[in-house]
Structure 1
Amino acid sequence: MQLLKSITRKATASMKKKTLVNIFLRFFVLTMLLMVSSATIAVYSNYRMINDAKESNRNYLRAVSSTLDGLFNKLKDKGYSVASDSDFLNLVAMTDKSQKNYSSSSYELSNKLSDLYISDDVVDDAFIYFQNIHTILAGSGSYNPTFYFNLHYRYKDYPQAFWNNALASGSDSAIFSATDVMTQSGDSGEKRYKSIVPLLLNIESLAHARNYMIINIDEQKIYQLIDEMNITKKGEIYLVDTHHNRFISTTDRKMLGERFDAKTLRLNVTEGKTESTAKIGSERYMLSFQHSTWNNLGFLIVTPEHMLTGPTNNFLYWTIGVIVLFMLIGTFFSAIFTRGIYSPLADIVIQMKRFALSPFEHGGSEYEYIKENMTSLQQFHQESMPSLLQILLYRALNQQIDHADIDRLQQKYDFFRGGDRLAVVVVRVSFSARSERSPADLKRLLAGFNKPVLDISEHESVLFFQEHHAEDVHASVRRLGDLSAAFIEGEKDSVHLAVGMSPIFHQLEQTSQAYKEACAVLDWRSVNKAGILFTDADESRGSRASAYIAADKKEMLYKYMDHGNVEGSAHLLEQLLEEAHAQDMPFKSFKQLASDLLYLAVEIVYVRGIDGQSLFGMPADEVIPYIGTFQDPRIMESLCRDIYRALSVHIQNQLQSSKAIHGMLDYIAQHLPEANLTTIADRFNMNANYVSQYFKKQLGVTFTDYINGLRIDKAKELLIGSALTVNDVGKQVGFNNANAFIRMFKKLEAVTPNEYRKGSQAQHQQGPAERG
């Protein structure tokens, strides 16, 4: 025994090695698939995230550009409205502050500036510089320019000279980068620091003097507006001065007022809207830019790519690490557990050799040997053993089951505990040659219904339903009817299907009777009842009308068909079909009626020797079995009409063709010398080419061969029975050229006319001598 075990363990050594290798390879392949799929998902996620961020940036740029442009334009329009004010015009016209109305005009204009701007929390201050009187008029009063710029409202980056130069550039209006200002009330008043964005309005062109207005917009308000509207994903937003490459306002507060390099950021500010990426240091950034309607303004969003892709990449790295760790741990534990398998596996090898289907080849792999034989045994089992439920259903349908069988099977199998409401459903189907569906498709549909199915024939299957409640049975059958309707959707002319349900019963022994009742439901349903699903309800049953065709109608129908009377046969056929509907004929009787009608048509086909394949599209003896598979009376009616019409037209054409060919042959016999294609075509009102083809089709020979044969036969009679010369004989039978006549005669008879005449005369003279 120990020796046997050692031999089997040695025999399975190659199996152990191969198994370990297969385990590692499977873990490795699985790991690679998981890593590739994870990397693919990560790349796609990053791609989608960047595209979503770009779309968000574009939407935000459109919104914030529209909002800020509207704000700046509103402030500009207010400034230009001051230039037409009477007090403003009075001050422009003055040359000295001591002039009359200076105080009142400056007071009124100062109040108007305060009402227009200072009351607006977006504007911190607004003033007008009058060059003619060297005065600054602000919302808070009038000031000496030196005092205003140096003490009262001191700009960090913009002294008074800057504004004079900016005005000299000729621009009507411009917005400048943010700067800090210090405001002070009086010489020793409280000092206040604030960041503002200056808006310069050149109003000298309106007043014909070098005057300008500065509207100091609170930068904090612009920042709040930008930040509140922010729908971007993890990006910094900048309002930029594209003329001086400076940041006017930004969500990155430390960059406020700083300069930037447009080339480093790869921005094309002259074209307006730009999307690009830039590498600054070791970081990559996604940039979105849009120009404002103000020629020196633009909106820029800068998003670090790692802010968008970082979480996904980190997740990918962790996932790959976990997958690799999983592979290593799985391989390690599989190798350990494999060691405990091979002692019992050696016994399996011994048992397998006892009943294997093929002998073991020396030097082969034990592993492949076991796998091959297990696969073969499994396949053999599946092919040779039908399911228990199909066997049971077959026995029940054939009344081969009793209480003892049922009790034993109920104790062993759960199926028989599924309920005591039982029903049998019969599914009948037929497929035409042009159908894209097949019986295999229907079998898959029924198999997917998870009910026992038994195929009675190629065209009939039986399903067994078992539920706890009758409502559940009816619901399942209705669902089957819906699935069947969907199955033939689009192919109602090529797939014919009907589903019949038996009454609900409670004992398995009643299965055979239930099957008969389900079949009766389909057989006795009314031809006027449309649909696919039929039950034992009274409204679906037809009458007991007979399918018998009266002898006089049958004789009349045969007569119409045999004489090619298309209208008569169609009218009588419709009369028979209408009577079937009027009588509410059962489907089974109607099928018999249709079979009898087609039998009559097939009989005429055989009698007349018509090619049934060309007429019916199938051999004539297959027509009646073919219609027997139909489950839709409308299709059966349509087939009967098509066959009767095709057969009647065919016979009608035969009769007309026979009449025409006989007329042509009589004409040729009576006018042999002058008969040709042209004369016959004119005589029968036909085309000459058609006459030639028609002759070939009806007689099997060409027109020329036929008429030459007649002429040579007539010439032979004249050569023997008259003293006419060969030339005269040729003319009398239709050859105007003697040489042509001789050539044709020799071609058909293998001798010349003279040789034929001499041979005939010699035979005639030899005959009496022999008799004497």
Structure 2
Amino acid sequence: MKRKLNNSRLFYQFLLSHVLIFAIPFTILSGVVYYNAVVRFKSEIETSNVYKLNQVKNTFDLLVRGLDNTASRISIDRHLTPFMVRSGIYNEMEAVEELSKYKVNNTIVDEVALYFHGDRQLYSSIGMNSFDTFTERIYRFSDIDGDRLAKEMSELQLPEIRRIQTYLSGSDQKQNMLLYMFPIPRNSQSPYGTVSFIIRESVMTDLVGPILGDFNGSVYISDANGRILASRSRENNLTEQNAINEMSRHNEEGIYNATIGGERYSLMQAKSDLTGWSYVIAMPTSQFLDRVLEMRTFILLICSAVVAFGILIAVLLSTRQYRPIRSIAEYARSLQGRSPAIADRRHNELDLIRDSVHATRDLMEQINHQRPIVREQFFVRLLVGSIKDSGEITAFMARENMTLPGESCFVAVIPTDGYEHISTQSREELLRMLSEVALPGAVGYGVEMIQDNVIAILIVTGCDVTAMRETQEESAREIVRLFEQCWGIRPTVGIGNPVSGMPLVNRSYIEASAAMEANARGRRGGIVFFDELSEWQESNEWYSVEEQIRMVQSMKQGNKEAARTALATIMSDLQGKDVSLFYLRCMCFDLINTFLRTMNELKLNIQQEHRRNLIEFSTLKQLNAGMDGLIDDICDYVQANKESKSSALGADILHYIGQHYNEYDLNLEKIADHFRMSLSYFSRFMKDQTGYTFTDYVTHLRMEEVKRQLKSSDLPIKNIVTSVGYSDVSNFMRKFKNTEGLTLGQYRKLHS
């Protein structure tokens, strides 16, 4: 009974919500609608029509501006100057072609005609014709002949529009055209020609026609002199002459009433400041009262019907919405293993569903799919020293459910360059095995460091100091075994010194890189430990060779912070030395030589101010300042070189995709294999360089090529789609319509 009671409570909440949602706005809306229908119906219609008139006025102002701009462009078009056009038949043909382009770019224009003063012919998109041919054969004007048209164009000083009647082709039926003439050059006191635009009156009436809606009346457009340019009427006896007379008496904008021919009219007028044209709507006033009376009765009937069915609809909606919620809640209870009684004491159905959504399987699958990429980025940042906060590391480990065997860790580095071509499949297999590998007494996490051409494995162990070297050797041998298994080669492994805590692993990574690089000139293969590099140091009189190697390797990686830390340790060591001045200067010059060798390897010149500090130093503080400047120069150079290589690689990748995007077998694995990258690194690199995923970028190129061919060729659509690398034509057509909102055929028709 308790479960039924809770279910009923939720159902009643739904029912009450639907009743309130319906009743409150319905009550308000009924009052507003009734008031508007009875009291303000006429005013609203008139105001609405004035607003529409202003929209039409603004639209025509834009069209006139467009025609004005077109006339200006024609006046400065070098192909349409009098000298060029009159220079021969070829230039005349070129002028006709240019006018055709201007006609195509103006959708409302039926024809564009160009006339130069003194000529006896017109140039238009259909060719060069005499005035008589143009007015009597091409357009068959009934109220203007060729001589009169030529005279008007010759004497034109300001833009002028006029209404002309013409016969339809092949019949005696007449239609109205608008002739809009502009002198060129624009705003010149001495124009040398005239540009004329011929516009069908129907183009304008099609724009103003919908203003009336379902009411009867007339719409007129007149020029600044009161001449009608276009008109449209619906079941209205008002003549154009009556409209002209009434507009002459009321020249101001706004709404006013008038009696014309014994009938009352409501007139709404708007006037353009740009052209001086007037836009007028004339509607019989009697139709408003009839419509109001009809609407009053209709509204009362509707209100009664809505009130009668309102509660019934609310009940039906509440029942339909509650039923699936109850079913989902029962399913959620079964998944959680709770009894209904326990669940209902703590949750209602909606709370139970919300808790279940938080643990949905689809969401977990998405998280699991992104986890390897997030984990890889975390370890890359950790190795390069970008993460110093132990709290951030601990939070990440807890979020990823990673259990570490201890606090001690070290880094192993294996070079990836210098080998024969390794396939992407083999590279991915190795990285998958190294992403989290169980080692003797430790666990390792491997990532690819593309810019340094190495694979780095962060190894975490819980063994004590006495067993650390044995753990390092066993871990290195296991890593070598995995390389031999996947790549068939025995690599060189550089091992850094162990550190206590993951925030310090950048130090071990630098040491491992230095150990690997120290063995680069020797034979390939073997395990090199960083601490073995300084075994030749027999006494404590010399500064630490280990810090020297760390400093050099940090500079080669562009890590200023690590390089300065190592330099500070060396300088502090030199300041505490109790040796002769000669011996101290020998150590200083050896340190200077270390910088010079590093800069020589990088082919980097020393700047003059740093050269002076290194040669003329008299104190260790001066020497330290000069070396700090060198560290800045070297690390900045290394970082800029890495960025330059990344940009060049990105350009090469985009160029390769641009050359091969129309191939059927182009895929992520093929490109990653071509550029010797892992799939995960290539995906990240592609996203950073273009902002697109690889698939989206290739799809974008193919889409653009298909659109280009649809515009510029008559090839069958199937041939175009297959030519850009798609074998499934129907699938591409669905994708194209979803992207562009048009089918391929509609796109071609629109842009042809």
Same fold (TM over 0.5): no
Larger radius of gyration: 1
TM-score by length of 2: 0.31
